[in-house]
């Protein structure tokens, strides 16, 4: 499960997903994270690039041992891709993100869990589709 969290400032990825996909982490970076219950936790590892919906973006993604999600996309990431939410009549939702490298390109990404998530070039890849103009 991927989670959009407007209350979080950072991107977090679960350690078992990193291990499963063979994601490269940088153990030199450190950050203190305050959890929802006000505990502080030091995170020492991160990925430096993510690919979501075919949009590659430089973003620190910090690794946690356990979480109720695979990937948490915080507010800074959402702002960097100009995230927009599209509510569907059936109750589902898609998100629309822009490509910072090509601001004319927008991609629709479903919010439901997908089985075809893959690793490409040591980056986490979450599928999406280009928006039709």
Higher pLDDT, 17 or 3: 17
Query: Does some domain include residue 92?
Result: no
Mean pLDDT calculated for residue range 87-114 = 80
Give yes or no for residue 119 having a pLDDT over 60.
no
Query: CA 60, CA 131: separation in Å to the nearest integer?
Result: 26
Centroid of chain to Cα 109: 12
**pTM to 2 decimal places:** 0.70
Residue 132's pLDDT band (cuts 50, 70, 90): low
**Is 90 contained in some domain?**
no
**Is position 89 within any domain?**
no
Interacting residues of 11 by C-beta distance below 8 A, sequence separation 6+: 50, 59, 60, 61, 62, 71, 72, 73, 74, 76, 77
The answer as to whether 102 is a domain residue is no
Structural domains of the chain, count:
1
pLDDT at 122: 47
Q: Which domain holds residue 45?
A: 2-79+113-130
Angle at 85 between CA 92 and CA 89, to 5 degrees: 35
For residue 123, tell me if it sits in a domain.
yes
Q: Is residue 55 part of a domain?
A: yes
Q: Locate 104 and state its tokens.
A: 């004319």
């Amino acid at each position: 499960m991927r989670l959009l969290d407007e209350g979080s400032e950072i991107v977090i990825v679960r350690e078992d997903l990193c291990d499963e996909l063979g994601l490269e982490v940088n153990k030199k970076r450190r950050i203190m994270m305050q959890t929802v219950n006000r505990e502080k936790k030091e995170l020492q590892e991160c990925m430096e690039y993510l690919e979501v919906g075919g949009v590659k973006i430089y973003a620190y993604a910090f690794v946690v041992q356990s979480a109720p999600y695979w990937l948490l996309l915080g507010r800074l990431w959402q702002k960097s891709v100009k995230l927009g939410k599209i509510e569907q009549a059936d109750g589902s939702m898609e998100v629309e993100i822009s490509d910072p490298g090509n601001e004319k390109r927008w991609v629709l990404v479903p919010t439901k869990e997908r089985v075809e998530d893959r690793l490409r070039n040591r980056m986490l890849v979450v599928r999406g589709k280009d928006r039709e103009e």
